[in-house]
Structure 1
Amino acid sequence: MIDHAALAETIRRHEAAQGQPISRLGYFCAPFRPAKGPFSEHVIKVYRGLPDAGALDRLAAAHEDYVAALRETGVPLPETTFLLLESEGARVPVIVQEALPEASLMRPRMQAEGLEATLEMMEAAGQVIARFWNAADRFDTRIGFHPSIRNFAVVDGTAVFYDTFPPLIHYSRDEMGRMLLLFSEKRLMRLVGPLMRKRVTGIQDEWYSAPETLVGLVGSACRLRPEHGEHYLAWGRAFAAREMPRWQDEAIADMQEMPRLPGYWTGFRKLLGLQGAPNA
């Protein structure tokens, strides 16, 4: 059971001290890990609030269902709690998550380690992707998955997924498109985004496609380590045939050469100042 008062005080102190977030890669928030106190072994993610109480309650219920669905499909997750924290008369969505060892985060490891080690991490992440999609049709609702390299840690050879927001379950495509704008941490995105709503909405499409999530993983690896790109493409083609045969034709066709990000998403990241080079 989380002590809401202690959590609110931890967030207040962090904001007052203007502490450094553990990551600046986030689209929705900048997670932080307190240096001391009751949450020092956790990562805290604070999101924008909404004036619509019903929308917040729906978000909380969807997050609970999404975490349950991820666990049911065999996706390894750290202990993750979603709550609506009272703050200045409003409720603010907060996720409190068990911290993973910093040395296990997949993205910096992919940048630093050798070819064999990076292929082992790709295999670990790929197994999670395949496990999810091979079981996802058991759910009678729209459900997606965002298994990017920056959303994994690899602990003792197992890929652990840790990005549960927004909860990619139950929401229609248009509803999720609106969420991408409503919860964006960047004010500029909330102002400019509605003018390009169709393109913003399209950002999510990869997350709801089994072959595209695998292709996205391989594309990110190729952009991080272009010197190993041909090895990653070969791994991806073999993996699709071996572990995701239902989608192998589409996946393999998109891994004949280095996959590229849509130009509008690259432009959005530059516009918002989101760090991510070189896989941006």
Structure 2
Amino acid sequence: MTDLAALAETIRRHEAAQGQPISRLGYFCTPFRPADGPFSDRVIKVYRGLGDEAALDRLAKAHDDYVAALLDAGVPMPATEFHLLQTDDGRVPVVVQEALPESSLMRPRMQVEDLASTLEMMEAAGQVIARFWNAADRFGTRIGFHPSIRNFSVVAGVAVFYDTFPPLIHYSRDEMGRMLLLFSEKRLMRLVGPLMRRRVTGIQDEWYSAPETLVGLVGSACRLRPEHARAYLDWGREFATREMPRWAEEAISGMTETPKLPGYWTGFRKLLGLQGEPNV
């Protein structure tokens, strides 16, 4: 069982030292890995707290259900725990996750490895996407998946997924749209976002669509390695037919050329200074 007092002390020491984060992506938090101590083999993600205790309890239950659903669907994941940690400012959500080798992160590998290797990683990630969506119907609730390149490591040829927050289960589309604002680490997003709530809410739509998650993966690969875009598009169309026939027609229609990010999303990224770094 996790020693929550030791976890709280680890977080306090990290914040006091303003330690080096291992990711600067910062949609919802800046993950860190302690250099020493009982959590040196873990990545810690501390999220913003909420004043609504019932909403926090619902979030904890949703996170437990989401991790269970991902595992049940056959999604490879590192050991993951969710805690509502008591602080001077109230309870805050904390995810503690088994650390994966930095050398296994898919995005940096996609940037530097040869075409054959990157296609192998695409196949590994695609298999996880197909496995999830082919199982999703049995959960009987609104459930989504965000299998972007930055949310995978590839270890011994297996794509390991590690993005469990916010938990994409049970919440309605409008509720998830509000969560994207409530838990944003960027104050500017929380201030400006409500003025563009409809567009912020739309960010999530790809995560709840089987064909769009595959198209999103291929689009990211094409943007990372434009010199290989044709090969990635060919792979994506063939993979959709082979492994996701229920959604092949829609997926293939999105991969006739390099998929583009929606204009409002690229605008938000620029506004917030977000980079496509691994969301470890």
| Structure 1 gap ranges (5+) | none
Aligned counterparts of 1:242 and 1:66: Cα–Cα separation in 2: 27
Correspondence list, 1:206-221, <5 A: 206-221=206-221
Q: CA deviation at 1:25?
A: 1.4
Q: CA deviation at 1:89?
A: 4.7
SS of alignment partner, residue 138 of structure 2: coil
Over the matched positions of the two proteins, sequence identity in percent amounts to: 83
Aligned counterparts of 2:104 and 2:152: Cα–Cα separation in 1: 9
Aligned counterparts of 2:20 and 2:33: Cα–Cα separation in 1: 9
Please, what TM-score do these two structures have when normalized by structure 1? Answer: 0.98
Q: CA deviation at 1:276?
A: 2.4
Cα offsets for 1:91-118 (capped at 9, x unmatched): 0000000000000000000001000000
| Amino acid in structure 1 at the alignment position of 2:252 | I
Give the aligned partner of residue 194 of structure 1.
194
Q: Is the 8 A contact 2:24 2:275 kept in 1?
A: yes
Aligned counterparts of 2:237 and 2:89: Cα–Cα separation in 1: 52
Give the aligned partner of residue 250 of structure 2.
250
Aligned counterparts of 2:237 and 2:206: Cα–Cα separation in 1: 18
Aligned counterparts of 1:239 and 1:245: Cα–Cα separation in 2: 9
Which consecutive segments of 4 or more residues in structure 1 shift more than 3 A? none
Aligned counterparts of 1:239 and 1:276: Cα–Cα separation in 2: 24
| Structure 2 gap ranges (5+) | none
SS of alignment partner, residue 175 of structure 2: helix
Structure ranking higher on relative contact order (CA contacts 8 Å, 6+ apart): 2
Give the aligned partner of residue 267 of structure 1.
267
Correspondence list, 1:154-173, <5 A: 154-173=154-173
Q: Does 1:231 align with 2:231?
A: yes
Give the aligned partner of residue 117 of structure 2.
117
Give the aligned partner of residue 59 of structure 1.
59
Q: CA deviation at 1:20?
A: 1.1
Aligned counterparts of 1:139 and 1:98: Cα–Cα separation in 2: 26
Aligned counterparts of 2:138 and 2:275: Cα–Cα separation in 1: 36
Aligned counterparts of 2:17 and 2:225: Cα–Cα separation in 1: 36
Which deviates more, 120-129 or 13-22?
13-22
Cα offsets for 1:19-52 (capped at 9, x unmatched): 1110011300010000000000000000000000
Q: Is the 8 A contact 2:150 2:276 kept in 1?
A: no
Give the aligned partner of residue 25 of structure 2.
25
Aligned counterparts of 1:79 and 1:22: Cα–Cα separation in 2: 18
Give the aligned partner of residue 183 of structure 2.
183
Q: Is the 8 A contact 2:148 2:216 kept in 1?
A: yes
| Amino acid in structure 1 at the alignment position of 2:227 | E
Aligned counterparts of 1:24 and 1:237: Cα–Cα separation in 2: 33
Q: CA deviation at 1:139?
A: 1.0
Aligned counterparts of 1:254 and 1:192: Cα–Cα separation in 2: 31
Q: Does 1:35 align with 2:59?
A: no
Aligned counterparts of 1:162 and 1:230: Cα–Cα separation in 2: 28
Please, what TM-score do these two structures have when normalized by structure 2? Answer: 0.98
Q: Is the 8 A contact 2:26 2:186 kept in 1?
A: no
Pairwise CA RMSD: 0.7
Q: Is the 8 A contact 2:199 2:264 kept in 1?
A: yes
Give the aligned partner of residue 99 of structure 2.
99
